[in-house]
Amino acid sequence: MTKTNSTIFHFVIIFMFILEIKIQLSEESEFLVDRSKGGLTHVPKDLPLKTTILDLSQNDISELQASDILLLSKLRVLRISHNRIQYLDMSVFKFNQELEYLDLSHNELEKISCHSTVNLKHLDLSFNAFDALPICKEFGNMSQLEFLGLSATQLQKSSVLPIAHLHINKVLLVLGDLYGEKEDPESLQDLNTESLHVVFPAGKESHFALDVSVSTAVSLELSNIKCVLGDNGYSYFLSVLSKLQNNSRISNLTLNNIETTWHSFITMFQLVWHTSIEYFSISNVKLQGRLQVRDFNYADTSLKALSIHQVVSDMFSLPQSYIYKIFSNMNIQNFTVSATHMVHMVCPSQMSPFLHLDFSNNLLTDMVFNNCGTLARLETLSLQMNQLKKLTNIVHMTKEMKSLQQLDISQNSLSYDENEEYCSWTISLLSLNLSSNILTDSVFRCLPPRLRVLDLHSNRITSIPENVIRLEALQELNVASNSLAHLPGCDSFSSLSVLIIDYNSISNPSAHFFQSCQKIRSINAGNNPFQCTCELREFIRSIGQVSSEVVEGWPDSYKCDYPESYKGTLLKDFHVSPLSCNTALLIVTIGVTGLVLAVAVTVLCVYFDLPWYLRMVCQWTQTRHRARNTPLHKLQRTLQFHAFISYSEHDSAWVKNELLPNLEKEDIWICLHERNFVPGKSIVENIINCIEKSYKSIFVLSPNFVQSEWCHYELYFAHHNLFHEGSNNLILILLESIPMYSIPGSYHKLKTLMAQRTYLEWPKEKSKHGLFWANLRASIRIKLMYQAKEVDHTYI
């Protein structure tokens, strides 16, 4: 048993797979070539061989030859209507064995030469210039024919015989302008069709006696009916309609393009009322003459639905109440009166069987159906495109319609004043169409409580108030084309599953919408002016978490409107970094980055000793600046040395091995106490003399320096000379660091100088020595007027 089931299962899978492949191949095999409206005078020669559908309609083609379509072996559909073809040889299609659809309507055909085309399902020869019906014996082989369009000016019963055995779904018969001169009233009796459409000559009085009650027809349509000449014209068409009483099969009757009198118009309804017809439609009616009041017999009718569309009348003084009474008391279920300029409708005089009423596109006002208790069975009412003004009047009008479920009052001028207290709808109402009115936010305070479908698109709604009537049964809400700025929550619409809110003013929709509306299975919020900012990011993410079938129009209808740089960008392509959207995270990131950068710079500065380099460059720059600002002749007048060196004997090794060689090799003259002090003079006098004859005084500072009394004197005199001369002539070199606590109290000048003045620090790294010497040389370099050696000889 298990093996059998497995075999069946595999067979079903294989069968479905083959069927799917066939369907895909069938869809892919269709190849359409559209050459309509191209001004062609002949069939193009460059048609692709794989063409399956060819449209050559609305051109100026006058003939069709076999060579034109000989190679189109896959052709299935050929439309060549609205051309100028006068003759057709059906043998041109003998190589098009797959041809199923052939439309030759609206040409100038007068004659055809027949050939067997057994595969045709649709053949349209209507609106041509045939005299007799273009039916030949070969048509009898078209066993698959479903539609046949014919045209003729003469009808004979024998002409129909070749196709009498065929069962054709629909036959269109267009009678030429000369029809009626030779008429056979029984010519259509052998026609075997379910639907017959007869088009009479336009503008001619209907004095035809043609029997259109084909025994097999279920649906009958008659076009171009004119009976305005009094009794004769009326009696002919009356005869046509009266014969329908003998045909029990016809259930659908349609009359188009009628020109008649009011009397004949009402009589048509009375005649149809007592036939087997169930659905009667009449449209494009032009009425004239006066209407005589008479009783209408509603008894014994099979009619279920009556539709009257587009009626005009040249009479203005009519007994309108009589007409309204006839219509309102009709004992049928469906009644439509549209585009008739009807200004009123009265209530039925007794309990009406009306289930569906459609009075759209008229001139009805709020007073229609006032206090109609006889419409208790009514389920559907359409009053769209009328002159309705106040919503409260509509509420009052429908309160007695206990069975009303669907109400369409769209495309009116309805408004609602929330100060009007009365708003008690019939409790049965489930679907309400209020679109294309002038309703505002207040309408949400006057809605039927059990609504399932509500259409409010194209109004003046800016928001949905929070304190609205709870519509817990509402499943579909359409508020498109309003001025809403936010997506509504589902607190008041707990069952909402379909929301249409496109073309509003929503810029930043809430990301919590899908959490609030758990039952949503379709939302259309496209074509709104979305602001592509950080706030929109969460909404886009929430859309990505639901099925693509839920969000209608995604992604093409969802585009950025602001800022200008993103305008036109699809929301799915809008991306922004999380950092730029989180202020706290942004501040922390900037702070951490700045801190890390500061630490890194500090570490680098310490590692590469950058402050030392900066101080040296700064000192060198300041020295050069002061040298430029001091007059040269003043500096050169008494100077004999570039610098006087004051140091401790304990630091003499550094002075002689480092300082002197690096300065004197650049032709800088240095004054040293053991080399330049004059014998016989006191030490103090020599110190003062060297300081005054030197451009600068260099003090080599170290712990040894502060322990030397003479060094203290030299510093004192140099500092005194600084104030006396008014120039900056002291240079401090810190050879070794000196803790401030180790400087004796008597060295208060040294403490002051070290606290106030910049000193050069001898670098321990050898790589920095070059910059140190360059900076020192720059600070003492000046062109002297006397040679130091000459001074020495003078002293000797």
Query: Is it true that the peptide bond before 162 is cis, omega within 30 degrees of 0?
Result: no
* Mean per-residue pLDDT, 482-489: 91
Confidence of residue 615 (pLDDT cuts 50, 70, 90): low
Alpha-carbon distances, residue 480 vs 42, 115, 485 (angstroms): 50, 57, 12
- State if pTM tops 0.75: no
* Mean per-residue pLDDT, 222-239: 71
Q: What secondary structure, in 3-state letters, does 41-64 show?
A: CCCCCCCCCCCCEEECCCCCCCCC
Structure tokens given for 550: 């839920």
Confidence of residue 709 (pLDDT cuts 50, 70, 90): low
Q: Which CATH class is domain 639-795?
A: alpha beta
* Mean per-residue pLDDT, 612-622: 54
Structure tokens given for 111: 């004659």
| Most confident by average pLDDT, 24-33, 317-326, 523-532, 744-753 | 523-532
pLDDT the model gives residue 128: 95
- How does DSSP classify residue 182? S
Lowest mean pLDDT among 39-48, 448-457, 573-582, 672-681: 573-582
| Best CA proximity match to 99, nearest among 91, 107, 87 | 91
Distance (Å, whole) CA 514 – CA 526: 16
Please indicate whether residue 184 or residue 149 has the higher confidence score (pLDDT): 149
466-498 burial by CB neighbour count: b if 16+ within 10 A, else e? eebbebebbbbbbbbbbebebbbbbebbeebbb
Distance (Å, whole) CA 744 – CA 735: 18
pLDDT the model gives residue 20: 45
DSSP letter string, 770-794: HHHHHHHHHHH----SS-HHHHHHH
Alpha-carbon distances, residue 595 vs 195, 588, 598, 599, 603 (angstroms): 89, 10, 5, 6, 12
- In this predicted structure, the answer to whether residue 135 has a pLDDT above a threshold of 60 is yes
Distance (Å, whole) CA 301 – CA 28: 51
Whether residue 105 contacts residue 124, with contact meaning beta carbons closer than 8 Å, is answered with: yes
- How does DSSP classify residue 657? I
* Mean per-residue pLDDT, 80-108: 93
Distance (Å, whole) CA 114 – CA 110: 13
Helices (H), 609-708: 610-629, 632-636, 652-654, 660-664, 673-676, 683-692
pLDDT of 441-481, one tens digit each?
999 989 998 999 999 999 999 998 877 778 889 999 999 99
pLDDT the model gives residue 795: 36
Lowest mean pLDDT among 31-35, 299-303, 339-343, 619-623: 619-623
Alpha-carbon distances, residue 136 vs 112, 139, 154, 593, 656 (angstroms): 9, 6, 15, 94, 138
* Mean per-residue pLDDT, 636-647: 77
- For the chain, the first-to-last Cα distance in angstroms comes to 139
Query: Is it true that the peptide bond before 679 is cis, omega within 30 degrees of 0?
Result: no
pLDDT the model gives residue 363: 94
588-597 burial by CB neighbour count: b if 16+ within 10 A, else e? eeeeeeeeee
* Mean per-residue pLDDT, 565-585: 79
Contacts of 390 (CB under 8 A, 6+ apart): 366, 414, 415, 416
Structure tokens given for 780: 């003492």
* Mean per-residue pLDDT, 504-528: 90
- In this predicted structure, the answer to whether residue 233 has a pLDDT above a threshold of 50 is no
pLDDT of 195-229, one tens digit each?
999 999 988 877 777 888 777 889 999 999 888 76
Q: Residue 647: phi, psi to the nearest 5? A: -155, 165
Confidence of residue 157 (pLDDT cuts 50, 70, 90): confident
- List 354's β-bridge partners, or say none: none
Q: Is 193 exposed, middle or buried (0-12, 13-18, 19+ CB in 10 A)?
A: buried
pLDDT the model gives residue 35: 94
SS3 65: coil
Confidence of residue 789 (pLDDT cuts 50, 70, 90): very low
- List 562's β-bridge partners, or say none: 531
Distance (Å, whole) CA 580 – CA 287: 73
Please indicate whether residue 796 or residue 681 has the higher confidence score (pLDDT): 681
637-673 burial by CB neighbour count: b if 16+ within 10 A, else e? eebbbbbbbbbbeebbebbeeebbebbeeeebbbbbb
> Any idea where the domains of the chain sit in the sequence?
218-318, 582-621, 639-795
pLDDT the model gives residue 249: 84
Reported as type and span, the H/E element at residue 87 is strand 87-89
Percent of the chain with pLDDT over 70: 83
What is the chain's alpha carbon radius of gyration, rounded to the nearest angstrom?
55
Distance (Å, whole) CA 40 – CA 57: 10
Sign of the C-alpha dihedral computed for residues 37, 39, 43 and 49 taken in this order: negative
Whether residue 448 contacts residue 472, with contact meaning beta carbons closer than 8 Å, is answered with: no
pLDDT the model gives residue 757: 59
What is the average pLDDT score of the chain? Answer: 83
